[in-house]
Chain A
Amino acid sequence: MAIERLAIIASKGTLDWAYPPLIIASTAASLGLETAIFFTFYGLNIIHKKKMKQLKVAPVGNPGMPMAFPPSIKKIPGPGQVAGLMEWIFPGPPQLMGVIPGMTDFMTGMMKKMMKDHGVATVEELIELCKEAEVKLIPCQMTMELFGYKYEDLIDGLEPPGGAATLINYVMDADKPMLLFI
């Protein structure tokens, strides 16, 4: 049978950016694809024993956050309307509101609560599900050295650290390769 492979480059270290690689990888593995996640730059924090518990939603400089301006604010959003709530919290340019002290923690707590209410798994749970589904979790050697992370600072069950060539070779070894950058 033809080997189908998906590799995902996880390069962001915030809570909201930690989810897409983990969700897509665990699902791809469940659908029968050989799957790997290559954790590089801040993405390494997702598999860092301590830092994975402190991932936050950054209101400042977050390109994924909705840009709302006063005219669009009409009513308080109902429960579960995350995007609506974000707009409600940030009625003006979010970059300005985001610098208010404590805003990052507030947003993070809000996001975590919403996720819990919606039955969305935690980052730790998704990593366990990835491992169970035999997703290869590869830490980037170069960024580990750059950030001063030792292999034992990272969670258990990882592949040996690798570099760009390891990643590209893994992908192109398949009959049907796919590579995502997140």
Chain B
Amino acid sequence: MASVTADKSLDTSGLNCPLPVLKTKKALEDLQSGQVLEVISTDPGSKADIPAFCQRTGHELVETVEEGGKYIFYIKKK
């Protein structure tokens, strides 16, 4: 379980590169600065790609949870 609470959740289960990143970018547009987006992904590539996206765009990857073949990311909008 994650220690952060999300303001919005995005489920990209079943989708593959580059869709999780593109949908994450879009979902973040609806949030206010400081709010947290939860991204659920089944794409193993997202394990590297979501952190890379955050590093590039300046959003903060607060926490990553891996459970039952799912990767769950908590991203705080900058």
Contact = CB atoms under 8 A, between A and B. Distances in A.
Contact of A121 (B19, B25, B56): B19
Interface string A12-37: 00000000000100110011100000
Interface in A118-150: 118-121, 129, 132-133
Most chain A CB within 10 A, of B14, B18, B26, is at B18
Contacts of A118: 16
A119 B57 contact: no
A121 B14 CA distance: 11
Interface in B34-78: 43, 52-53, 56-57
A23 B17 contact: yes
A119 B19 contact: yes
B15 interface: yes
A26 B26 CA distance: 12
B32 to A, nearest CB: 19
B57 A31 contact: yes
Interface of B: 14-19, 21-22, 24-26, 43, 52-53, 56-57
The 5 closest A-B pairs by CB, nearest first: A30-B25, A31-B56, A119-B15, A27-B18, A119-B16
Given A30-B18, A31-B57, A119-B43, 14 more contacts: A23-B18, A27-B18, A27-B22, A30-B21, A31-B52, A31-B56, A32-B56, A32-B57, A119-B15, A120-B16, A121-B18, A121-B19, A129-B22, A133-B22
